Amino acid sequence: MCATVTSIGLKGMEGYRVNVEVMSFVGTDSIRIVGLPDAAVKESRERIIAAFRSLELSLSGQKVIINLSPSEQKKSGPMFDLAMAISMLVSLHELNVEIPPNTAFIGALSLDGAIVPVVGMLPAVLAAKKLTIQTLYMPYDETFPILEFSDLKIIFVSSLKQVIDHLSGRGLGVPVIFPKNNVERYEMKSLTNFEQVMGNKNSKRALEVAAAGGHHVLMTGPPGCGKSMLAESFPSILPALTKQAQLEVISLYQLSGITCPDTRFPPFRNPHHSASAISIIGGGTYPKPGEISLAHQGVLFLDEMAEFPKKLLDMLRQPFENGKITISRTHATISYPAEFTLIAAMNPCPCGYAGSNTHYCTCTKKQVISYKNKISGPLQDRFDIHLSLRPVVFSEDLNREESSEIVRDRVEEARKRQYNRYEKEICNSRVTYDVLLQTSPLTVVQQRKLQHLSARKNWSSRTQIKIIRLARTISDLNGSPAITDQSIEEAIKLNGVKYRC
């Protein structure tokens, strides 16, 4: 008899429907899996045989062929174990029920028949929702977030026997106990607070603008001027992640095999400059997410940016523009989301003290030029904000610093204005230029002023667009419905362009 059961396959973060087709007939005892399975899928045969024996089910005298359709798509991982086992039971008449195509099964089998979690279950759940699956059987994982979907019923099971009993109308047996969904306020106890950063008033203002509009920042300054501390405090002024953003972040961490941090906070990734291109961009024989994807919806901090290989830095240009990274390998071509805010820091020269009034720079002019050329022009042009920091001069005014909570409230208000204006959750830095100008047109005087300055200063088109984007964000922070002249002047300064009228 031929039986078909639905499961979910993954290609990066994207899921697709897999039809597990099983044909059993009298013949030599064997199980053959076809449909481009990898080694982990082929090993499912032994796990299924052991699980059947634990239920006292015999495969004696049966030849079983399992086809994972679509056959041209490569299948990987043990996620299809449960679906293959259920389809075999139906084909062998051990389970006399009709399973509808909108019911799916995911999970790996243990030798004793237990169903255990596997890597990538959360992306598979999100894919099942998009594929209009109505019922999903899966193992429970205590690290999972609370999943509540109105159009997808999730049934958590712990053993193959539980699945059989439930499909046969005998209930789940021992109920699974779920943790309570404790809604906690977005606290910043584990993050560096803005009030701990002394001085740097202008730099804090620039980071507030960056947080409000999702703009990338390049900080240059000598050692000890506060670059790292500013970057580490930056996540504390970002709004809390939405439920959808949390699910995306957890999915990426699951696919990479890394323990996910507190998902209420935007992720903060700080790779060392000795990290390989694969670890930062992502890849491998079977491509996994890299640091830029793990920073999705959060912050990627590149300290000592000039120490990173130039080729690696130029690879960041595509995610800068698209908010995703596409990795092509022999086995597959996979795309991962990478919508992050990049905070980069570097010294002005190899020794770090070029232009300093307190230390003598030992670098030659050639060394300084060579050091700065490690950051290519096209990459520098993609930074919205350029900051030149100096050591802080301590005074009594340093005791009056704003906390992250106060700054974050202003950032959240600015983002609400953007979401309402664009009618979706997108910031000024990522909205298309046509929509930006359509919703916030410049006045004739402002257009002429920018055109005049562009001609005088030889600004690129990208620089002009970034100034307009920054001006729109500054106006949002100030509560202005239109782009103001003052916001344009501040945007020019933040972009690192010397402005003289």
Pairing state between β 341-346 and 62-69: unpaired
3-state secondary structure of 160: helix
Strand extents, DSSP E, 360-417: 385-388
Would the pLDDT of 190 be above 70? no
Lowest mean pLDDT among 258-272, 359-373, 386-400, 412-426: 386-400
Measured between alpha carbons, how far is 486 from 321 in angstroms, rounded to an integer?
27
3-state secondary structure of 121: helix
Predicted local confidence at residue 497, as pLDDT: 54
- At 500, is the pLDDT very low, low, confident or very high (cuts 50, 70, 90)? very low
Predicted local confidence at residue 181, as pLDDT: 43
Domain ranges of the chain: 2-167, 194-431, 432-501
Average pLDDT, the chain: 87
Would the pLDDT of 72 be above 80? yes
Lowest mean pLDDT among 142-156, 244-258, 389-403: 389-403
- Look up the CATH number of domain 2-167: 3.30.230.10
Predicted local confidence at residue 498, as pLDDT: 44
One-letter amino acid of 193: N
Q: What are the φ/ψ torsions at residue 289 (nearest 5 degrees)?
A: -65, 145
Contact (CB, 8 A) for 13 and 1: no
Predicted local confidence at residue 174, as pLDDT: 45
Give, as one character, the DSSP assignment of residue 276.
-
The predicted model gives 216-245 an average pLDDT of 90
The predicted model gives 96-109 an average pLDDT of 93
Residue 87's H or E segment, with its range, is: helix 81-91
Who has greater pLDDT, 176 or 101? Answer: 101
The angle formed by the CA atoms of residues 167, 169 and 172, to the nearest 5 degrees, is 75
Contact (CB, 8 A) for 480 and 487: yes
Would the pLDDT of 100 be above 50? yes
Measured between alpha carbons, how far is 358 from 431 in angstroms, rounded to an integer?
44
Predicted local confidence at residue 395, as pLDDT: 58
Predicted local confidence at residue 176, as pLDDT: 44
**How deeply is 429 buried, as exposed, middle or buried, from its count of CB atoms within 10 A (0-12, 13-18, 19+)?**
buried
Would the pLDDT of 356 be above 80? no
Predicted local confidence at residue 13, as pLDDT: 86
One-letter amino acid of 109: L
Domains 2-167 and 194-431 share a fold: no
The CATH number of domain 194-431 is 3.40.50.300? yes
Measured between alpha carbons, how far is 64 from 32 in angstroms, rounded to an integer?
6
Would the pLDDT of 35 be above 50? yes
For the chain, what percent of residues have pLDDT higher than 90?
55
